[in-house]
Structure 1
């Protein structure tokens, strides 16, 4: 009996040591990711009068309380304005992660986000949807005048961009991941490039001999993803961005685990997120637990639910928010 107990204790110790080793390895891996916790503070540096938004979640209802703050070098006064409440559409089986691409300026000179794609993982239906938000979309930015949606990132980073998405479209954003264009190039090169289907106009502009499948390295993939000179300007540009992400997704899912680990070693230091290590582990657990289908794509604004206008000298796309909000919620949650 004593030998059995001793053997059992030894086994338990070995399991504990293994668990500690694995957890240490995973956390060491994830600690390579850049973290941001300064975006909310940045909002207070850009305007003498702003709206501070407080997010409170109780059960399935998320409440946003907005407080107007006036700040001057001499004094700070606080006046509480009207409280605005609206419900998000939470679903534990559906995870929304905002992917942000920007031009790599420093935090003190933050550029506008060039790419905003919401990656939605539906664990129950084993599906992924990539939703592009066009950068000229004219929306409400909490604390500021209505403006292009990509200005929210410049004013308050991923935090304010998240608030803007949630306020206008009433869907939760569970986390944000951002990468600059240099990191994007390196990531594509790290997976050996991608294959993308080109039409005749794209092939001619990019210097390929003919339309069809083209192999691209990181530099060419970036040029392709940012291309606006061919086709219907920003509409097709956002479609190209989704095609690049889909091609990269398919390439990575077919890599062996050793190459994936090597890829993460190279790419994680080029990524910035507001998610904690535990949140990333939970997300990864859900992602790895099922086999996902090829990503579906979507775009906001939807066709027929916006107008091209000039507002305060800006060329913008003014959406019918009710129609776009309903279309997005139906697409993500299959609710009508």
Structure 2
């Protein structure tokens, strides 16, 4: 009798394992093959950055927190070299189920490997994701090797797929936002025009949300622009989580053709299925350079922010990893 029950338990476990494997196999085959994979050389991070912290502590940090660089490109043609309009470090704290978002302001004037110093957003145009990642790592003492890139056309489609994002728009923002909507409607004339909006809480469609992310000439300029970009990303996370675990694979399947990344198939699958566990209501936010740690200057005809790199490196690491 005991042997019969034991065999029954084993068979039940095997059946459950088979079902889970079948579901995982379906998810894997149905959407992971659609993604645009980009490989980054293994020697991406300079040696001096790798040895900056003791190996034991570095491995401990790496195991607990995963950093992914998010690049938003302002390009119309998928094959054109483009500067990044948005650079963000997404830090995923596996143990605490928390997400942090750190914006790197695009006008920061920093050294770029193999080039003279320039705005940090020029690195992607000079050498794609590889050089952009090296530039961030070298200047801020990080060892990030994972990235996700999406252009504004792709971002528009991604947001439409999840049913838009809810944002509170001020009167000043609405005026500039509508001018950006007009521009995007003209540039994407083959698609249906996005309607203009009024101030207040709005459910923005993809094009409206992209226009909102681009607002610069309201309030504190580019500083508030990065805040809007983080807010849109925050709302995207919330919408994905609200869809529930049964719909997330299908949504991601539709999104992947508009994304470039070097995340492995297993990493994408794990992040997608674990998304339900993370606290997306309270995404912690940060911006580099920090107030009081940079100077506004004009260099070679460019209006740039010259940061105190050592201080910003310290503050960024403190935000990501804690004191």
Q: Which TM-score bucket, shorter chain as reference? A: 0.7 to 0.9
Q: Which residue of the partner structure matches residue 206 of structure 1?
A: 177
Question: Residue 166 of structure 1 contacts residue 173 of structure 1 at CA under 8 Å; is this kept in 2?
Answer: yes
Match among 110, 126, 136 for residue 139 of structure 1: 110
User: How much has 1:279 moved relative to structure 2?
Assistant: 2.7
The reply on whether 1:270 has 2:261 as its aligned counterpart is no
Q: TM-score, normalised by structure 1?
A: 0.78
Structure 1 gaps, min length 5: 41-52, 56-62, 66-82
Deviation (angstroms), 1:316: 1.2
Q: Does 2:227 match 1:245? A: no
| Higher RCO, 1 vs 2 (CA within 8 Å, ≥6 residues apart) | 2
How far apart, CA to CA, are the structure 2 residues paired with 1:9 and 1:124?
31
Q: How many Å separate the matches in 2 of 1:9 and 1:210?
A: 61
Residue 93 to residue 147, structure 1, CA distance change in 2 (3 Å):
same
> Please, which of 153, 157, 161 is the counterpart of residue 124 of structure 2?
153
Gaps of 5+ in 2: 179-195
Larger Rg belongs to = 1
Gap change, CA 1:235 and 1:109, over 3 Å in 2? same
More strand by share: 1
Number of equivalent positions: 298
**Matched residue, 2:160:** 189
* Structure 1 residue 291: Cα displacement: 4.2
Distance 1:222 1:107 in 2: 17
Instruction: Write the mapping of 1:12-31 to structure 2, written as runs, cut at 5 A.
Output: 14-15=15-16, 17-28=18-29, 29-31=31-33
| 227-236 or 11-20, which deviates more | 11-20
Take 1:321 and 1:133, find their aligned partners in 2: how far apart are those partners?
12
TM-score, normalised via structure 2 length = 0.81
1:224/1:209 CA distance change after superposition, 3 Å = closer
Cα-to-partner distance string for 1:2-57 (whole Å, 9 max, x where unaligned): 977986786576456435423321321222211013x66xxxxxxxxxxxx935xx
Give the drift of 1:202. Answer: 0.7
Q: Is the 8 A contact 1:112 1:151 kept in 2?
A: yes
Tell me, in whole angstroms, the C-alpha distance in 2 between the residues paired with 1:252 and 1:156.
32
In the alignment, which residue of structure 1 is the partner of 2:182? none
